[in-house]
Copies of this chain bind each other. A is one copy, B any other.
Protein backbone atom coordinates (compact mmCIF):
# COMPACT_ATOMS: atom_id res chain seq x y z
CA UNK A 1 0.00 0.00 0.00
CA UNK A 2 1.24 3.50 -0.79
CA UNK A 3 -0.08 7.01 -0.55
CA UNK A 4 -1.36 7.08 -4.11
CA UNK A 5 -3.61 4.09 -3.55
CA UNK A 6 -5.38 5.88 -0.77
CA UNK A 7 -5.58 9.19 -2.59
CA UNK A 8 -6.94 7.44 -5.65
CA UNK A 9 -9.68 5.96 -3.50
CA UNK A 10 -10.58 9.46 -2.29
CA UNK A 11 -10.58 10.87 -5.79
CA UNK A 12 -13.04 8.27 -6.91
CA UNK A 13 -15.42 9.59 -4.26
CA UNK A 14 -15.15 13.10 -5.64
CA UNK A 15 -12.66 14.42 -3.11
CA UNK A 16 -9.73 16.43 -4.24
CA UNK A 17 -6.08 15.74 -4.08
CA UNK A 18 -4.24 18.46 -2.24
CA UNK A 19 -0.68 18.67 -1.05
CA UNK A 20 -1.74 18.78 2.57
CA UNK A 21 -3.96 15.79 2.24
CA UNK A 22 -1.15 13.90 0.59
CA UNK A 23 1.22 14.91 3.37
CA UNK A 24 -1.18 13.63 6.01
CA UNK A 25 -1.47 10.25 4.33
CA UNK A 26 2.31 10.18 3.72
CA UNK A 27 3.11 10.75 7.35
CA UNK A 28 0.55 8.29 8.66
CA UNK A 29 1.90 5.71 6.26
CA UNK A 30 5.54 6.20 7.14
CA UNK A 31 4.67 6.06 10.83
CA UNK A 32 2.44 3.00 10.66
CA UNK A 33 1.62 3.28 14.36
CA UNK A 34 -0.84 5.17 16.50
CA UNK A 35 0.02 8.84 16.81
CA UNK A 36 -1.89 11.71 18.36
CA UNK A 37 -3.29 14.54 16.30
CA UNK A 38 -0.69 16.71 17.97
CA UNK A 39 2.23 14.58 16.82
CA UNK A 40 0.81 14.47 13.33
CA UNK A 41 0.47 18.23 13.20
CA UNK A 42 4.01 18.69 14.48
CA UNK A 43 5.35 16.55 11.63
CA UNK A 44 3.13 18.25 9.08
CA UNK A 45 4.54 21.62 10.04
CA UNK A 46 7.93 20.60 8.70
CA UNK A 47 6.40 20.68 5.26
CA UNK A 48 3.54 23.12 5.84
CA UNK A 49 4.55 25.37 8.72
CA UNK A 50 1.20 27.09 8.85
CA UNK A 51 -1.18 24.15 8.40
CA UNK A 52 -4.11 24.60 10.75
CA UNK A 53 -5.39 22.05 13.21
CA UNK A 54 -8.87 22.18 11.71
CA UNK A 55 -7.55 21.02 8.38
CA UNK A 56 -5.87 18.09 10.05
CA UNK A 57 -8.97 17.11 11.99
CA UNK A 58 -11.17 17.52 8.96
CA UNK A 59 -8.90 15.26 6.97
CA UNK A 60 -8.64 12.71 9.74
CA UNK A 61 -12.42 12.57 9.94
CA UNK A 62 -12.68 12.16 6.20
CA UNK A 63 -10.08 9.40 6.22
CA UNK A 64 -11.91 7.74 9.09
CA UNK A 65 -15.18 7.78 7.18
CA UNK A 66 -13.41 6.30 4.20
CA UNK A 67 -12.00 3.59 6.48
CA UNK A 68 -8.48 4.59 5.58
CA UNK A 69 -7.65 5.63 9.11
CA UNK A 70 -8.64 4.16 12.45
CA UNK A 71 -8.85 5.84 15.81
CA UNK A 72 -8.11 4.49 19.26
CA UNK A 73 -8.11 6.06 22.66
CA UNK A 74 -5.39 5.14 25.07
CA UNK A 75 -2.89 7.12 27.07
CA UNK A 76 -3.10 10.87 27.37
CA UNK A 77 -3.35 13.70 24.92
CA UNK A 78 -6.49 12.78 23.03
CA UNK A 79 -7.30 10.21 20.37
CA UNK A 80 -4.65 8.45 18.36
CA UNK A 81 -4.78 7.63 14.70
CA UNK A 82 -3.15 5.11 12.44
CA UNK A 83 -3.52 4.17 8.82
CA UNK A 84 -5.12 0.85 7.89
CA UNK A 85 -2.65 -0.86 5.64
CA UNK A 86 -4.19 -4.29 5.60
CA UNK A 87 -7.75 -4.79 4.60
CA UNK A 88 -7.93 -8.05 6.51
CA UNK A 89 -9.75 -8.08 9.84
CA UNK A 90 -7.36 -8.24 12.76
CA UNK A 91 -6.47 -6.65 16.08
CA UNK A 92 -3.33 -5.11 17.45
CA UNK A 93 -0.76 -5.20 20.11
CA UNK A 94 -0.02 -1.53 20.83
CA UNK A 95 3.16 -0.29 22.47
CA UNK A 96 2.36 2.13 25.27
CA UNK A 97 5.66 3.86 24.82
CA UNK A 98 6.08 4.41 21.07
CA UNK A 99 2.62 3.58 19.71
CA UNK A 100 3.99 0.88 17.42
CA UNK A 101 1.43 -1.74 16.50
CA UNK A 102 1.77 -5.40 15.73
CA UNK A 103 -1.03 -7.62 14.42
CA UNK A 104 -2.29 -10.18 16.91
CA UNK A 105 -2.24 -13.80 15.92
CA UNK A 106 -5.96 -14.41 16.41
CA UNK A 107 -9.30 -12.68 16.54
CA UNK A 108 -11.02 -13.88 19.69
CA UNK A 109 -14.50 -13.76 18.16
CA UNK A 110 -13.79 -16.67 15.91
CA UNK A 111 -12.38 -18.96 18.56
CA UNK A 112 -15.31 -19.86 20.80
CA UNK A 113 -18.70 -18.49 21.75
CA UNK A 114 -17.90 -15.38 23.71
CA UNK A 115 -21.33 -13.78 23.91
CA UNK A 116 -24.31 -15.09 25.89
CA UNK A 117 -27.46 -15.93 23.90
CA UNK A 118 -29.90 -13.19 23.02
CA UNK A 119 -27.51 -10.41 22.10
CA UNK A 120 -27.02 -8.98 18.64
CA UNK A 121 -23.35 -8.36 18.08
CA UNK A 122 -22.52 -5.33 15.98
CA UNK A 123 -18.83 -4.84 16.56
CA UNK A 124 -16.03 -5.70 18.88
CA UNK A 125 -12.82 -4.20 20.07
CA UNK A 126 -9.76 -6.06 21.16
CA UNK A 127 -6.45 -4.48 21.93
CA UNK A 128 -3.43 -5.66 23.86
CA UNK A 129 -1.22 -3.01 25.43
CA UNK A 130 2.34 -3.32 26.62
CA UNK A 131 5.89 -2.67 25.53
CA UNK A 132 7.54 -3.69 22.29
CA UNK A 133 10.94 -5.32 22.12
CA UNK A 134 12.70 -1.97 21.64
CA UNK A 135 10.91 -0.09 24.38
CA UNK A 136 10.97 -2.72 27.09
CA UNK A 137 14.74 -2.42 27.45
Contact = CB atoms under 8 A, between A and B. Distances in A.
B136 A120 contact: yes
A68 to B, nearest CB: 21
A136 B115 CA distance: 15
Contact of A131 (B105, B109, B122, B132): B122
Interface string A115-137: 11011111111111111110010
A113 B124 CA distance: 19
A73 interface: yes
Nearest to A112: B106
Contact of A108 (B103, B108, B119, B120): B108
A125 B95 CA distance: 14
A122 B130 contact: yes
A1 interface: no
A115 B104 CA distance: 5
Pairs A-B, 9 closest by C-beta atoms? A108-B108, A122-B130, A118-B133, A121-B130, A120-B131, A124-B128, A120-B130, A120-B136, A125-B127
